[in-house]
Amino acid sequence: MPAPHPNPPPQAGEGTNDRCANLSFLLADEAATAAFAGRLASTLRAGMVIHLRGDLGAGKTTLVRALLHALGYTGRVKSPTYTLLEQYEAGGLHLCHFDLYRFRSKEEWEAAGFREEFDGRNVCLVEWPEKAHGLVPQADMEILFEILPRGRNITIRANTETGKECLRSLQN
């Protein structure tokens, strides 16, 4: 089971000093990521938007794959590196997995119908949201990945009440 460790100080200028707004986990290996994904899966609600931030190879897709498996999805989960979006139905939820690393233009956003996917029903998990700055809706939660010599550290930041509820469940 991944071990929670003390909250980092709230980010300056984020308008929050709520102790519940940040939570970090050390994911020592992929098994720890899978265990954490199981906990995260049980906190998901329809319509949530989750941004996944971190360098290439930081473990974002690995977490989404584990999350889908935790929700009962048994098919292949491939990275949306070239398709930009892969969609799933699992655990009673509709999930949209975006990877916007190769995203180029606002026109592409509209033409692909990405805006319509953020419909308050789909759970949207977005890798590289910064590549479509101003187009991707605000995140309920942001998960920041840091590559360690062994494993990964993740910090989860909640930006909305829904996100904070999620964090509270993860803390318990």
Ligand X SMILES: Nc1ncnc2c1ncn2[C@@H]1O[C@H](COP(=O)(O)OP(=O)(O)OP(=O)(O)O)[C@@H](O)[C@H]1O
Residue 29 touches which of ligand X, Mg ion, none (Cβ within 5-8 Å per kind): ligand X
Q: How far is the CB of 161 from ligand X (least distance, A)?
A: 28
60 is an interface residue for Mg ion by CB under 5 A: yes
61 is an interface residue for Mg ion by CB under 5 A: yes
Q: How far is the CB of 71 from Mg ion (least distance, A)?
A: 18
DSSP 111-146: HTTHHHH-SSSSEEEEESGGGGTTTSPPPSEEEEEE
Considering beta carbons, is residue 88 or 167 the nearer one to Mg ion? 88
Considering beta carbons, is residue 21 or 61 the nearer one to ligand X? 61
Q: How far is the CB of 99 from ligand X (least distance, A)?
A: 6
What letters, b where the CB count within 10 A reaches 16 and e where it falls short, cover 96-135?
A: bbbbbeebeeeeebeeeebeebbeeebbbbbbbbebbeeb
Give me the half-sphere count of Cα atoms (radius 13 Å) on the Cβ side of residue 157: 18
Q: Is 36 helix (H, G, I), strand (E, B) or coil?
A: helix
Q: How far is the CB of 99 from Mg ion (least distance, A)?
A: 5
Kind plus residue range of the DSSP H or E element containing 158: strand 152-158
* Site of tokens 């101003």: 134
Which stretch, 23-31, 106-114, 123-131, 150-158, contacts Mg ion (CB under 5 A)? 123-131
Which stretch, 22-30, 58-66, 67-75, 154-162, contacts Mg ion (CB under 5 A)? 58-66
Considering beta carbons, is residue 21 or 99 the nearer one to ligand X? 99
* Site of tokens 């999350």: 67
95 forms beta bridges with 88, 123
Task: Report the interface residues with Mg ion, using CB under 5 A.
Answer: 60-61, 79, 127
